[in-house]
Amino acid sequence: MAGMLQMRRSRGAFSGFLLVLLGLWGALIPMVGPYFNYAYTPDVSWHYDTARLWLEILPGAAVFLGGLLLIIATGRHVALFGALLAAASGAWFVLGVTLSPLWNHNVPMGGVPAGSRVFTRVMEQIGFFSALGVLIVFIAGAALGRILSVPSGIRPVQDVAPATTEPANTVPATTVPADRVPADQVPAEDRVPAETAPVETLPRRTVATETVPAEETQAIPAEDTQSIS
């Protein structure tokens, strides 16, 4: 059963590495962004509040954990859990700010972009939440597809001993030609003519019957005929 869940570590290693980097970005950018004027309000470095915990730090840590599981996993179940955890956390980066009024007294959490220009505010919006979440979901989905493409019940290549097939020593079937002499090469004196033997018929025997003249039969006396009878 354990062999049926095995897979190559390389199937999720690269995707896991990218997810680890994106998870670190999502969790740490609200803390270090104010150093280079890239932040949400409050524009203070290493500022901690509930909004940053639920919308940035926790999802970033979950993405980091999912990517780490993809890097070290050699089993399908562990890698699937890591990919799904990262995908769900990436979706939360996109939807968290929109859903936050449901539990925050109808007030969106997370603050607003702190940039002074429109372009800077747009880049802060997509870098903190929108584009970050979409990119995480895309990478986690690609890793999920690679993991699911492993055939179930087939062990990885390094775990299965290669089947060596030895060719059978087959002896070619040699056909011995029959020594057939053409009919035209046989000497004439050795040829046996196909003659039909005459059927010897015996002569029929004919039995000669002697006919007695009528006058002789009439000459036989009656007493003789009676004696004969």
What mean pLDDT do residues 21-28 have? 96
Contact 70, 16 (CB under 8 A): yes
Q: State residue 225 phi and psi, 5-degree precision.
A: -70, -35
Of the ranges 42-46, 97-101, 153-157, which one carries the lowest mean pLDDT score? Answer: 153-157
Confidence at residue 154, expressed as pLDDT on a 0 to 100 scale:
46
Return the amino acid letter for 77.
H
- Of 98, 97, 28, 87, which Cα lies nearest the Cα of 57? 28
pTM (2 d.p.): 0.64
- 123 or 220, higher pLDDT: 123
- Of 151, 121, 143, 160, which Cα lies nearest the Cα of 18? 143
| Phi-psi sector, 198: left (phi>0), alpha (psi -120 to 50), beta | beta
Per residue in 156-215, pLDDT (tens digit) is 445 445 555 555 555 555 554 555 555 565 555 555 555 544 545 555 555 555 555 555
Per residue in 28-87, pLDDT (tens digit) is 999 999 999 999 998 899 999 999 999 999 999 999 999 999 999 888 888 999 999 999
Confidence at residue 58, expressed as pLDDT on a 0 to 100 scale:
96
- Token pair for 113: 């972009």
Long-range contacts, stretch 102-110, CB < 8 angstroms, 24+ apart: 109/50, 109/51, 109/54, 109/55, 110/40, 110/51, 110/52, 110/55, 110/56
- Whole-angstrom distance, CA of residue 126 vs CA of residue 29: 12
* Residue 18 pLDDT > 80: yes
Contact 133, 90 (CB under 8 A): yes
- Whole-angstrom distance, CA of residue 28 vs CA of residue 35: 12
Q: How far is CA 203 from the centre of its chain?
A: 92
